[in-house]
Each structure stands twice: as structure tokens, then as C-alpha cells.
Structure 1
Amino acid sequence: MRLGFWNRSLGIRPEDNWKTELFAGIISYFSVVYIVMVNAAILHDAGMPIQAAMVATLLTSIVGCLLMAFGGKSPIIVVPGMGINAFFTYTLVHSMKLSWQEALAVVTVTGILFAIVAFTSLYRMISQAIPSNLQHGITVGIGLFLTFIGLQKSGIVIAHQTTFVAIGHFNDPSVIVACVTLLLALVLFVRDVKGGLLISILVGTGLAFLLGAVNTSQKVEAGQTFQQYGKVFAQLSWSNMGQMVFWIAIFLLLLIVVFENIGLIASQVAMIDRPENFKGSLRALAVANIFAGIFGSSPVVAAAESTAGIAAGARTGLSSLVSAILFGATFFIIPILTLIPDSAIAPILIVIGGLMVQSVREMDFTDLTEAFPAFLIMVMIPFTYSIVDGMAFGFIAYPIVKLAQNRGREVSPVLYGISLLFVANFVLNALL
């Protein structure tokens, strides 16, 4: 009777193997646990204490994986998304001048709206209204942006008065560590080593200690970690709720979260040959995004690394449940994780950026009215150091070039509306 309850709750069928699911859940965890350090480092750039950001990342991942296990019944790992966390820190906080507390409020409201979209047919309308070229252009642009951030944080690229950027100093121990870590991460990735990114971070950290590129003066106790987290949990600020910038931030974040997750979940449930799990998985992810803002994290996604577990035989929610339990065990090593330097984390941003750029293969370059707006998004996101501004250039250009060729009917009313909102945003910024 008890076994039957677990089978129903986690979507386990007679042909599924419990041992295989358990092993696949372990593989999924080690493939994606690097996100704890990387996401915390990016949230720290927004002003959050690094240890509290790690706790927030872990709690968000645990709840997300549990919701996916019992709600989605799929072997999909839910963690804060790379690219979206960059949007949180470098666009919402740095560019749009929201505090990180206000940005967390944006995440929570976005999660509520995402839930409304996921529990209705709105997700189809939004997905179909935005041309695939623009969707892929956003992914590529964010990938280039992450790469640029990784190059900066590693010291491989530095600021220059005349050319704006220049090559870094390779006699700097931190730069040496970053280069070695990057090369190791690439080698392990192309050889398809499970947990390769995590291994690269650990080796890079060890090398940083050997070369004296780690600050060991700051020791963190477990009690201090959770004391710091008390200043992050549920610290949502609604002070800017009446301002246009707050709702523009929500609108843009919702677009990114919806686009990315619909594509990821659709591909992952197709891999396990259970398309009927799509709705439940999307809804579980939407609810997880509400908790993300409350816990103090950037939005969550269906991790691309879930494919590692799927490749190992995962087909049910049991795999996600195992990963959730292992994320819980990670709490015990947070004080150790705080010693990992930027030089060991930044190369992972470069690798992930390179993976995101592969979306360019899905783009149509034969039609200039489709290609050029997407091109503007790709280049303007990193060059303006703003995901919002980069998206604006492409979304405004798209209807203009279509109208120029008397093809305005190809543009959906929703896209015309989005373009006008971007224009209004530029006008308001110019007037203020």
C-alpha cells in the first residue's frame, strides 16, 4: 500500500526501476550543485551576503525539486537559472536601480503571474506571439553577457580608458587560476565527465590556495550563516510598487522566465517520452518561482543539467526527490563553500555562456526581417551591459522592418504592444 502511494505520487510506472531513479538523482545533483556557488556569487554582486545567498539558493532548489517531484512527477531539477540571475543582478539592480529587496518583490510577483499563465492557456498565447528568432536571440545575448561577466570577474579582461576593454595581466595569480580552471572545465565538458563543472571549481579552488589567491582571513561559522540569512528571508520591499520601473521589470522578467521554461520543459518531457507531464511540470515550476522571491533568490528554471539524470535512466519524480535531499545535505558545507574564490567560479560563467550561444543554430538568417532584429538583441545585451536595453532594440526593430516590407500582418498584436512598451520605457528614461 505504501509503495503504491509513492508510485502514484512520483509518477512511477511498473516499467520504471527504483535503483536507476536513485542513481540518476545523484548524478543530476552532482551535475548541477555548482549553481550553489555560482548563483550566490552573482546575488552577492547585487548586495546580498554571500552565505545568505547560498542558503537562499539551496532552499529554493530544495522546494523547487520537491514541487517537481510530486507536482510535475518528472526527473527535472529546479534551480535558479543562469542568465536569469544575471538579469536580476546586473539589470534589475545595477541598471534599473532597484534595491535587491525590491528585485525580490519583482521575482515574487513574476512568480504569481507565471502561475496564472501556467494554470491557463496564456502560456501558449505568449509563446506563439514572440518570433522564435527573437526568443533564441535573447538566449544568445544573455550567453554573451554571462561570458563577458565571467571574463571580467576572472581578470582575463580588464577595463581600459581608450578601448574600454583590454586583456588582463597574466602574472596575476587569480588570472592564472581562472585560465587553468577554464581549460579544465572545457576538457571535462567535451569529454562528458559527470559533475565536470563542480570538479573544475574544486580544482580551481585548490590551485588558488596554492598560489595564494584566496582570502582565508574571513572564517564563517554555521550559526553566523543562518543569522545572515535572517536578513534576506522574506525581505521583499514594495516601496517602488507604484513606479513604472517596477512593472516594466516584472513584465520583462516574466517574458524571459516563460520563454526559457516552456522550451526547457517541453524538450525534457519529450526526452523521457512523457509529454503528458508538461502541464504539471510547468505549474510546479511556476509555483517554485513564487517561493524563490520569498526565500531570497533569483527565479528558477528547469535546469538543462537535468538531461544528465535523464541520460542515466531517470523517468520519474523520484530522481528529483533524491536531488532535493542531497541539496538539503549541502547545508552542512556552506562555511567551506564560502572559501571558493571568484577566479574558480568566473570560468564556469564563460562555459555556460558558450553553451547558451549554441541557440544561434536554431535561428533563421535567410530572412533579414527576422535575422537583423535578433542580431541587435544578441549584440546589444552585452554591449549595453543591460538585458532590458538589448531586448528593446530587437523588439522595436522587428515591427519596423516588417512594416518596411509591407509585411506588418506577420507581427502579432501582442508584439506590437511589447514594442510600444519598450519605446515608452526609452522615452520615460530620457525625460526623467
Structure 2
Amino acid sequence: MAEKSFLERRFKLSEHKTTVKTEVMAGITTFMTMSYILAVNPGMLSEAGMDQGAVFTATILASALGTILMALLANYPFALSAGMGLNAYFTYTVVLNMGHDWTYALTAVFIEGIIFILMSIFNIREAIFKAIPTTLKKGVSVGIGLFITLIGLVNAGIIIDNPATLISIGDLTAPPALVAIFGLLVIGVLLKKNVRGSLLIGILASTILAIILGVTNLPTKVFSLPPSLAPIAFKLQWSDIFTKEMFAVVFAFLFVDIFDTIGTLIGVATKADMLDENDDLPNLGPALLSDAIATTAGALLGTSTVTTFVESASGVADGGRTGLTSLTTAGLFLLSLFLFPIFAIIPASATAPALIIVGLFMMSPVKDINFDDYTESIPAFLTIAMMPFAYSVAEGIVWGITSFVILNLLTGKKEKVSILMILLAILFMVYKIFG
């Protein structure tokens, strides 16, 4: 018997019915669909007064660290980076609205990360994951699918903001929309022909059209040295940590991050058939610990909360099943420290088709929801609907769990509701009432 390769032994590729080529292609796809964070996060945190170049470097290093840990500790194809929504809360609420310095906000993220590590060590987050009923886990997958579809449509300018109707159709003849529509057609044809790496090929083809149409430009240079971390690294503020306001800020970061991460893990793992016979995710503890360590380290480096990205679903949809996918993504993050001019030319409209198609892929668990039992279908539906409409994975889980508990208790089905689910529902209601 031939000796197994190092990658086979380390990532158990044959056991997961995958190959090195498939995993690498999937890792590239994941990176392409989430690389927008390398432009968005520095720009957003710079509004809080942070050095934009330093945040760029911190975002990459924290993303690479978390994704490498996910690869090596959990062997899952999930990638991590600075979470959207959490970075907005960091900048617009804690700094610009509440009037705190960005060092105060970083300290809150650091404290949140430490709490996360403790929750992971004592399996608190794992218990929450296991307590969520199967019907909600199916709903989370579908909801995330609609959520990232909406992100893709907005990024392409196909769906736009409208003061009268909240959202409406955009100008489909505009170059970004044409790029996205072209990418959808390319990916659709390739999927029909069972071509591996369809999403990645679609992104690259769309980028070429984007250059032709003037949506993006060829880079003026290939290499660049990464900016220094010195202006933001290890800049924590300890003078106001024992205050009611700091408690509120830490709790908000903690609350959203817990359920964003759990929701993403549930949704992507459900689509990839990674859940076991009890609808639990094996090796969940190391996955959650990776996320917690990345958040803590990210705060020290100088970036907002690091979390598992829903865009990981694009790599899973392209066949990624092991940590080799996430290790590839992490490698590209590190490479982008020096090759950002290359990666920066890929516009959001070119990655939008991949997100839209992934949304389609993640719809399939909807068929497993029992729509005849309203104590299951209503919570699942609220989970699905609230994720795109509230623009938050966490909000979908809040509405799903709370409605599941209330409906089952009121209809005499208390055996379906665990004590932990009841405690979570009470926590959610208190959080919503008192903010």
C-alpha cells in the first residue's frame, strides 16, 4: 500500500471524498468572495480615527490567524475575518455616537474575546449549538442563503435602496449590473456542465468584463510592502472597563458575535452535510475556540471582532470539505499583504454572482422543514425571513428561538423545549426590551 501524503494524513481528504485540487480551488473561491473585507474594514475603522493602512495589515493578520486555526484545530473549510455589522457597531455606535476613543472600542472587543475563550473552554457555546432544534438549523441555512444573495444583489447594484419602498430594482444597464449578470450566466453554464471551480471561473470572467467596461482598472503595480501595525497594535484602554457603559458595549459585541458565528456554522455545515445523526457538528469545540482566539488576537493587533464568514459557503459550494480549503484561504490572505494591488482590482460586482448562486445552493434544506406543524414552520420561517430583512444572522436566530419556545409552550409541547432554549428566549426578550 502506497504511503499516504502529508496532506492526506493531515486533512483526511479521501475520508471527506475530496482532493487537493478541489480544496485549493474552493479556498481560492472563498477568498475571492470575502476579499472585499480588506478594503471595507480599513475604510470603516478609519472613520473611527484609526490608521487605515495599519488596519489593513491587522485585518489580514487576524483573518489569517483565525482561518489557520480553523484549518488545523477543527479541519473545517470555514474562513474568518472582521465581521460586517460588528465593525459598523464599533465605528458608528461606540466611537462616533457614544463618543468613545477607538482604543475603548478595541478594549471591549478584547474583553469579549476573552469571555469567548472561556465560553469555548467550558463548552457553553457548544451547548447552545446543540440546543437549537433541527427545524431551526434548517431554517438558518436557508436564511443565510437569502442573506448572502441579498448581499450579492446589493453589491452588484441590482438591488438598491429606495426611500419610498426601502429597496427596489437598480439600473440593469449599468456596468456593475452587467458584470454581475454576465457572471451569473457563466457560472450557470459551468454548473450545468459540472465544471469544478465554476464559482471561481465566474469571478475571474466577470473581472475581465469589469476591466473592459471600466468598472475596475488594471493595477499600476503588482507588489507593495504592508503598512506598519505600530499606530494601532496593543492600544488598549483600561481606565473605564468597570462601568455600566463598558458592560453594555461588551455585551452587544458578545451577543451578536455568538449568534453570528453559531448561525454561520449551522448554515454552512448543514449545506455541506457535515452535521451528524443528531444534527450536531462534530469537532465543534475547536471551531468555536478558533473564532474566540482570533477575536482576542485581532483586538490586540488593531481590528474589530473577527468571526466566521458566511462567504465560506462559496468554497463549500465549490467542493471544499476540509481544513485544506481554509488553509488555502489563509495563505491568500497572507499573500495579499504584498499583492493587494492585484486583489484590489476584483470589484464587488464580480464576486456578486458567486454569492447569489451560493444563496441558491443553501436553499435546499427548506424541503426538510415540516410546514404542516406550525410550531416548527413559523419559527423556521421567521428565522429565514429575518436574516435578509434585518440584515443580520443573529436577528434571525433570535426570532426563531424565541418564537419556537413561546409557541411550543403555549400549545402544550413543553417536551420539545429545553431549559437552555427557555433561558435563551428570556435573554433575547430582555435584550430587546432593555437594549
User: How far apart are 1:94 and its partner, in Å?
Assistant: 6.7
User: How far apart are 1:221 and its partner, in Å?
Assistant: 6.9
The residue that corresponds to 1:43 in the other structure is 41
Distance 1:379 1:319 in 2: 30
In the alignment, structure 1 residue 226 sits paired with structure 2 residue 227 = yes
Pairs within 5 Å for 1:33-432: 33-40=31-38, 43=41, 46-47=44-45, 55-56=57-58, 58-68=60-70, 70-72=72-74, 74=75, 76-80=76-80, 85-89=83-87, 108-214=110-216, 222-223=224-225, 225-227=226-228, 242-258=246-262, 260-261=264-265, 268=274, 283-284=289-290, 286-295=292-301, 296=303, 298-300=306-308, 303-304=312-313, 305=315, 324-325=330-331, 327-429=333-435
Distance 1:351 1:403 in 2: 38
User: How far apart are 1:408 and its partner, in Å?
Assistant: 3.2
Identical residues among aligned pairs (%)? 29
Count of residue correspondences: 409
User: How far apart are 1:102 and its partner, in Å?
Assistant: 7.2
Distance 1:12 1:161 in 2: 50
Q: Secondary structure at the match of 1:340?
A: coil
User: Normalising to structure 2: TM-score of the pair?
Assistant: 0.73
CA 285–149 in structure 1, closer or farther in 2 if over 3 Å, else same: closer
Contact kept in structure 1, 2:317 and 2:358, CA below 8 Å: no
User: How far apart are 1:334 and its partner, in Å?
Assistant: 0.9
Distance 1:212 1:388 in 2: 37
User: How far apart are 1:44 and its partner, in Å?
Assistant: 5.8
Give deviations 1:281-337, integer Å, cap 9, x for gaps: 6645553454345453631369453686767xx7xx778666655553343321121
User: Normalising to structure 1: TM-score of the pair?
Assistant: 0.74
Distance 1:205 1:102 in 2: 39
State the Cα RMSD in Å: 4.5
User: How far apart are 1:375 and its partner, in Å?
Assistant: 0.9
User: How far apart are 1:400 and its partner, in Å?
Assistant: 2.1
CA 286–261 in structure 1, closer or farther in 2 if over 3 Å, else same: farther
User: How far apart are 1:422 and its partner, in Å?
Assistant: 2.2
Q: Secondary structure at the match of 1:299?
A: strand
Distance 1:282 1:344 in 2: 31
Q: Secondary structure at the match of 1:171?
A: coil
User: How far apart are 1:194 and its partner, in Å?
Assistant: 3.5
CA 41–362 in structure 1, closer or farther in 2 if over 3 Å, else same: farther
Distance 2:119 2:143 in 1: 25
Give deviations 1:106-127, integer Å, cap 9, x for gaps: 6655544443344344355222
Q: In structure 2, what residue type is equivalent to 1:29?
A: G
Pairs within 5 Å for 1:3-18: 11=10
Contact kept in structure 2, 1:64 and 1:78, CA below 8 Å: no
CA 219–107 in structure 1, closer or farther in 2 if over 3 Å, else same: farther
Contact kept in structure 1, 2:156 and 2:180, CA below 8 Å: yes
Identify the range of structure 1 (43-52 vs 112-121) with the bigger mean alpha-carbon deviation: 43-52
Distance 2:139 2:39 in 1: 26
Distance 1:27 1:400 in 2: 44
Q: Secondary structure at the match of 2:341?
A: helix
Q: Secondary structure at the match of 1:222?
A: coil
Q: In structure 2, what residue type is equivalent to 1:187?
A: V
Q: Secondary structure at the match of 2:79?
A: strand
User: How far apart are 1:369 and its partner, in Å?
Assistant: 0.7
Distance 2:43 2:67 in 1: 26
Contact kept in structure 2, 1:60 and 1:291, CA below 8 Å: yes
User: How far apart are 1:43 and its partner, in Å?
Assistant: 3.3
Contact kept in structure 2, 1:113 and 1:254, CA below 8 Å: no
Contact kept in structure 1, 2:77 and 2:316, CA below 8 Å: yes
Give deviations 1:74-133, integer Å, cap 9, x for gaps: 4x344127xx94453567767897898777666655544443344344355222322222
Unmatched tracts of structure 1, length 5 or more: none
CA 61–192 in structure 1, closer or farther in 2 if over 3 Å, else same: farther
Contact kept in structure 2, 1:37 and 1:345, CA below 8 Å: no
User: How far apart are 1:367 and its partner, in Å?
Assistant: 1.6
The residue that corresponds to 1:30 in the other structure is 28
User: How far apart are 1:376 and its partner, in Å?
Assistant: 1.4
Distance 2:320 2:351 in 1: 26
CA 395–208 in structure 1, closer or farther in 2 if over 3 Å, else same: same
Distance 1:53 1:189 in 2: 37
Contact kept in structure 1, 2:263 and 2:394, CA below 8 Å: no
User: How far apart are 1:156 and its partner, in Å?
Assistant: 0.9
Q: In structure 1, what residue type is equivalent to 2:259?
A: L
Distance 1:193 1:187 in 2: 9
Q: Secondary structure at the match of 1:165?
A: strand
Give deviations 1:51-90, integer Å, cap 9, x for gaps: 7676455434533454355544x4x344127xx9445356
User: How far apart are 1:253 and its partner, in Å?
Assistant: 1.7
Give deviations 1:12-65, integer Å, cap 9, x for gaps: 89x989xx9765653443343314524335536744698767645543453345
Q: Secondary structure at the match of 2:167?
A: strand
Q: In structure 2, what residue type is equivalent to 1:256?
A: D
Give deviations 1:249-294, integer Å, cap 9, x for gaps: 3123213324543786795597xxxx99665566455534543454
Distance 2:93 2:368 in 1: 30
